[in-house]
Amino acid sequence: MPETGQSWRLEFKAHPAEAHRVRQWVGSRLEHPDAPQVANELFVSVLATGTQTVEMTLSTADSRTQLTAAGSVELKIHHSHGPGFLIVSALSSQSGVTTDGKGMWALLSTKDKA
């Protein structure tokens, strides 16, 4: 049986005040209780690179949700493995850096909650 899902993408200004909008946007689209916090940490990590904008992407499929934050500047190790990384790692089933090194992603799952 094929999986179905949805995807959303929105670009935010790379400014700390936008973190609140990111959490609201994610919370209005995803039911997972940890999604707004995970999105916030991904956004803040990419924001710290000095990029001009941060593109947030949300994708759902079956019981999985992937959140991605990406900018135009490559992440340094302290951006991708700083304090926010510990929060993302604790709240997600998997996480990592995008293949181009300019973003971070996290996979949330609801299957274990059944």
For 23-38, the pLDDT digits (tens) are: 999 999 999 999 999 9
| Tally of CB atoms within 10 A around 5 | 12
Domain ranges of the chain: 7-113
Rounded mean pLDDT of 5-15? 96
Residue type, 87: I
| DSSP tag of 75 | P
Q: 């209005």: which residue's tokens?
A: 28
| Tally of CB atoms within 10 A around 60 | 20
CATH number for the domain whose boundaries are 7-113:
3.30.565.10
Residue 113 has pLDDT above 70, yes or no: no
Identify the band that residue 111 occupies on the pLDDT scale cut at 50, 70 and 90.
low
Q: Answer yes or no: pTM beyond 0.85.
A: yes
Share of the chain above pLDDT 90, in %: 79
